[in-house]
Structure 1
Amino acid sequence: MSLLIMSSFLPAPLNLPFDQNLSALRRRSTPAVEQPRLSPIRCSAAGQSSASRRSANFQPNLWSNDYIQSLAVSSPVEEKDRTERIKFLEEKIRGVIGEKKEVEEQLELIDHLQQLGVAYHFKDGIKDCLTRLHSSLEDLSLKLNDNLRATALLFRLLRENGFSISEDMFKKFRDEKGEFRDGGENHTEGMLSLYEASYYGTEGEMVLQEAMEFTTEHLKNLLEEGSEIMKLRKKVADALELPLNWRMERVHTRRFIEACQRDASILNNNPLLLEFAKLDFNAVQSIYKKELSALSRFWTELGLVEKLPFARDRLSESYLWTLGWTFEPEHWRFREAQTKANCFGTLIDDVYDVYGTMDELELFTHVVDRWDINAIDKLPDYMKILFLAIFNTTNEEAFKVMKEKGLDIIPYLRGAWADLCKAYLVEAKWNHQGCTPPLAEYLEKAHVTINGPLVLTNAYCLVNDLSEQDLARFSGHLAAMKPPSMLARLYNDLATSTAETKRGDVAKAIACCMHETGVSEAVARRRIKEMIKVNWRRMNGDRGGASSLEEHSKRVAIGMARSTHFFYGQGDGFGQRDGDIKSQLVALLVNPIVVEK
């Protein structure tokens, strides 16, 4: 969309109550059309009689706006003292990173910084250190000799940070039959380190696949024996439940900090590093509270939920998603825009899956594809306000980029919304016709309806250092969207398919697999889980980036997969507001970590 067209609606201030904003918008754009009556009850499209509507009986919103506003209250004096202490400790740790150390000690420090969630403070220092290590891999391999723990840690950190490294470095840990030996002197730690490294394997890396199978069985046996690993029992059990590469970073950070509080030896008795991590966690949490507070004011003033009472209202959870994708303070703009997009996407999902008639859905898809407020006249009232909210908010974000950088990202954002609605429409038609498509055909649409391409488009277009050359390369970025989007869809379907099938939604991956191949549900679920591993291996092979933008986009993609597992690993953590997700919201957004004075 051109800047000229954007100027026709952007002056309408978004901080007005939405009905006022809508009124001003329509007076400028379609003066001959009567302002719509914003009724959530009589929702028939023009020329169509009212139809009966399904209801999913979604649980209400978890937190009120008043409660969220109360979270953002803080003491300026405490914040100033904390900031000064953080700066002091940051310089101390920066000096430690630059000190000459033994290889294993250096690797441990980088690993601790990452797991404590503070590595973003030292990106350049860590990158320089890993670059030096990567340039001398042959010498390092000899130096580490048969130290499986350190070798696997080196491999994991290099691959996690986008460096090219071969699985061949593990061949020396196999016997003449090609089978892995045990972990040597530090038996359990070696097995555990190799286990974590194996989850960074790519397609065709059979040594790492065999390492995954071997270490999984070995660690399970050690747990059952309970002999030498009492101190490592919880660490082993947690790893077998979920490897590091699959964990949502911010959730793991809090748990790791708390583990280090209980056992100082984890950080090699480094109290300054632990203090820094706790202070930084609390400082970043304060930023999150302010971001969520502003978003809650926006969402409340928009008044959209009252107009669509059949849909899920999930602001806090939608914000939590974005923390899983990129938690660093510098990416606040993406979190702000994407939280809004998450909320809108949830409403659209419920319109297509639960509430809208086929005639209405056809009309809505057409209007979104045209991206034209003059095309909304035939929409029912609830769809008019939904489209205008998306239209207004998306173009507002695009205008900021245009104003600051002179770049027009509207074609990319509107294209992502159009693709999302087109894919939803196909699924709605399948459901309306009672059709269960082949699995591949279903996934071709479903990896879009999970919102993956929309998220990754926003991540690309709203990055701080976006350039004209980056926009020109956007089409090449599309291929990288598929594996994380596919992972998000498969995790979601494993958790939600039973409930969604009962309420009459479109057939999900499990049902498609069963229908196409005639297998049982148990077999279908195993196949879906294997597909998850395949897509993780595809993502692992594409972690590097030629620019900071590419690195950021790929981190968001990995975060998407991790966050979806977090939300759906133990059931529907997004649709159902109770359980572990609620406690994690409190841990990440409400309760600070206690810092001893």
Structure 2
Amino acid sequence: MANTKGVMRPLVNFPEDLWCDRFLSLPFNNSEFESYTKQVEAMKETVKDMLVVSTTDPMEKMHLVNSLCRLGVSYHFENEIEEQLNHLFITLPKLLDDNDYDLHIVALVFQIFRFNGYKLPCGVFSKFQDGDGKFKEQVMGDVKGMVSLYEASHFRTNGEAILDEALDFTTKHLRSLANQSSTSPHLREYIENALFRPYHHSMQRLEAKLYISFYEKDESRNDILLNFAKYDFNRVQLLLQQELTVLSR
């Protein structure tokens, strides 16, 4: 048996904890948390009614679902969203055939369904291509459509050449648009955020914070959704801060 007496082992000098004890001192305002919670609960039924009410234009529901997801509040309505998507997916082929939807709508529908696990074929974008399989130049003027197509292209699977082309096409032209002096700061920020990190690649809370700031400046915004998202974001932020404090003890 080896003699271990007198063996000197080197001491390891670990660096100080980067975060120290800053999370231990995070204040938790319970009355503020309860206030946000009451606001969220009071508005939740109103938003739910917006989601389940009948409408003559199914694409209004898709816009609403998209806003709920990007604002970070879709988790409140998972069952209702699933029900709406199930119903719409059945009627979608006829809707796309009977209506001349623009690129933004088609790309938005595509990414919502793909994100939620529906196998929507990428052929829905073929009407925006010319005979050589290239995207038509006129779609470059639809900035929202270009951003939506760029984000939709990240849901491509192996062998979907149309989405490979969409990624190359939108990346090139969106970078050009972002560098043009005629592009408004609001729109430039929207483009740059999408190019830096597509929505579904981002952390949900971070994306919600960014999108709330963008949505607030959108003239077509729904103020009920905006306020609901703000209250919910603040409520969840307080809750996460409290959890960090507990875990740091």
Do Structure 1 and Structure 2 share a fold, with TM-score over 0.5?
yes
Query: Match of 2:234, as an amino acid?
Result: N
Return the match for 1:174 from 98, 117, 129: 129
Provide closer, same or farther for how the CA distance between residues 136 and 186 of structure 1 changes in structure 2, counting only shifts above 3 A: farther
In the alignment, what sits opposite 1:293?
245
Structure 2 unaligned residues grouped into runs of 5+: none
Paired residues of 1:167 and 1:207 also in contact (CA < 8 A)? yes
1:100 is displaced (CA, Å) by: 2.7
Listed one character per residue, the Cα deviations across residues 503-540 of structure 1 (whole Å, up to 9, x for unaligned) are: xxxxxxxxxxxxxxxxxxxxxxxxxxxxxxxxxxxxxx
Query: Match of 2:51, as an amino acid?
Result: I
Structure 1 unaligned residues grouped into runs of 5+: 1-45, 298-597
Q: How many residues align?
A: 245
Q: For the residues of structure 1 that align with 2:230 and 2:10, how far apart are their CA atoms?
A: 53
| Greater relative contact order (CA < 8 Å, ≥ 6 in sequence) | 2
Provide closer, same or farther for how the CA distance between residues 146 and 287 of structure 1 changes in structure 2, counting only shifts above 3 A: closer
Paired residues of 2:151 and 2:198 also in contact (CA < 8 A)? yes
TM-score between both structures, scaled by the size of structure 1? 0.38
CA RMSD of aligned residues (A): 2.5
Secondary structure of the residue aligned to 2:248 is helix
In the alignment, what sits opposite 1:116?
71
Query: Match of 2:238, as an amino acid?
Result: S
* TM alignment of 1:260-275, pairs within 5 A: 260-261=215-216, 263-265=217-219, 268-275=220-227
In the alignment, what sits opposite 1:247?
202
Q: For the residues of structure 1 that align with 2:138 and 2:241, how far apart are their CA atoms?
A: 45
Matched, 1:98 2:52: yes
Secondary structure of the residue aligned to 2:179 is helix
* TM alignment of 1:114-513, pairs within 5 A: 114-182=69-137, 184=139, 187-227=142-182, 231-261=186-216, 263-265=217-219, 268-297=220-249
Q: For the residues of structure 2 that align with 1:69 and 1:51, how far apart are their CA atoms?
A: 34
1:182 is displaced (CA, Å) by: 3.5
Return the match for 2:19 from 49, 62, 83: 62
Secondary structure of the residue aligned to 1:145 is coil
Provide closer, same or farther for how the CA distance between residues 172 and 249 of structure 1 changes in structure 2, counting only shifts above 3 A: same
Listed one character per residue, the Cα deviations across residues 290-330 of structure 1 (whole Å, up to 9, x for unaligned) are: 21122112xxxxxxxxxxxxxxxxxxxxxxxxxxxxxxxxx
1:258 is displaced (CA, Å) by: 2.3
In the alignment, what sits opposite 1:86?
40
Secondary structure of the residue aligned to 1:236 is helix
Listed one character per residue, the Cα deviations across residues 364-417 of structure 1 (whole Å, up to 9, x for unaligned) are: xxxxxxxxxxxxxxxxxxxxxxxxxxxxxxxxxxxxxxxxxxxxxxxxxxxxxx
1:144 is displaced (CA, Å) by: 4.2
Secondary structure of the residue aligned to 2:23 is helix
1:251 is displaced (CA, Å) by: 0.9
Q: For the residues of structure 2 that align with 1:166 and 1:100, how far apart are their CA atoms?
A: 27
Q: For the residues of structure 2 that align with 1:274 and 1:84, how far apart are their CA atoms?
A: 16
Listed one character per residue, the Cα deviations across residues 415-453 of structure 1 (whole Å, up to 9, x for unaligned) are: xxxxxxxxxxxxxxxxxxxxxxxxxxxxxxxxxxxxxxx
Q: For the residues of structure 2 that align with 1:235 and 1:181, how far apart are their CA atoms?
A: 23
Listed one character per residue, the Cα deviations across residues 256-291 of structure 1 (whole Å, up to 9, x for unaligned) are: 112333x142xx232221111111111112221221
Query: Match of 2:245, as an amino acid?
Result: S
Paired residues of 1:149 and 1:186 also in contact (CA < 8 A)? no
Q: For the residues of structure 1 that align with 2:54 and 2:40, how far apart are their CA atoms?
A: 24
Paired residues of 2:153 and 2:164 also in contact (CA < 8 A)? yes
Secondary structure of the residue aligned to 1:70 is coil
Q: For the residues of structure 1 that align with 2:162 and 2:127, how far apart are their CA atoms?
A: 11
Query: Match of 1:249, as an amino acid?
Result: Q
1:52 is displaced (CA, Å) by: 4.8
Paired residues of 1:264 and 1:270 also in contact (CA < 8 A)? no
1:166 is displaced (CA, Å) by: 1.4
In the alignment, what sits opposite 1:338?
none
Provide closer, same or farther for how the CA distance between residues 164 and 58 of structure 1 changes in structure 2, counting only shifts above 3 A: farther
1:120 is displaced (CA, Å) by: 0.3
Provide closer, same or farther for how the CA distance between residues 193 and 216 of structure 1 changes in structure 2, counting only shifts above 3 A: same
TM-score between both structures, scaled by the size of structure 2? 0.87
Paired residues of 1:133 and 1:140 also in contact (CA < 8 A)? no
Query: Match of 1:177, as an amino acid?
Result: D
Provide closer, same or farther for how the CA distance between residues 48 and 167 of structure 1 changes in structure 2, counting only shifts above 3 A: farther
1:230 is displaced (CA, Å) by: 5.6
Query: Match of 1:271, as an amino acid?
Result: D
Query: Match of 1:295, as an amino acid?
Result: L
Paired residues of 2:128 and 2:139 also in contact (CA < 8 A)? no
Identity of aligned pairs, percent? 31
Provide closer, same or farther for how the CA distance between residues 175 and 272 of structure 1 changes in structure 2, counting only shifts above 3 A: same
Q: For the residues of structure 2 that align with 1:160 and 1:47, how far apart are their CA atoms?
A: 63
Query: Match of 1:182, as an amino acid?
Result: E
Provide closer, same or farther for how the CA distance between residues 238 and 48 of structure 1 changes in structure 2, counting only shifts above 3 A: farther
Paired residues of 1:182 and 1:191 also in contact (CA < 8 A)? no
Q: For the residues of structure 1 that align with 2:122 and 2:171, how far apart are their CA atoms?
A: 18
Provide closer, same or farther for how the CA distance between residues 218 and 232 of structure 1 changes in structure 2, counting only shifts above 3 A: same
